[in-house]
Amino acid sequence: MAPLNLDPNIAKPDDFYQELIDAQRDLDEDEVNLMNAKLILILANHIGDMDVLSEALRIARGDD
């Protein structure tokens, strides 16, 4: 099992954050929620490791 990487790992985090905000700029709350859900599923598929995904879910819920 690969451990969940919680260390900073994005070369330009401010650029990514700006791109994320820009992608949501003209969306209403429901559209933002749908986009975020789609993004989570796309990235989860990319990760592909159920143990890592389960750990991420536990941490995101605050169950760590």
Its pTM stands at 0.86
Under 8 Å between Cβ of 4 and 57: no
DSSP 8-class letter at 13: H
Q: Identify which of 26, 53, 31 has the alpha carbon closest to the alpha carbon of residue 42.
A: 53
Q: How many Å apart are CA 58 and CA 54, to the nearest integer? A: 6
Average pLDDT over residues 58-64: 90
* pLDDT per position as a tens digit, 32-53: 999 999 999 999 999 999 999 9
pLDDT higher than 90, residue 64 = no
Q: How many Å apart are CA 13 and CA 55, to the nearest integer? A: 22
pLDDT > 70: what percent of the chain? 97
pLDDT higher than 80, residue 2 = no
Q: How many Å apart are CA 44 and CA 50, to the nearest integer? A: 9
pLDDT > 90: what percent of the chain? 92
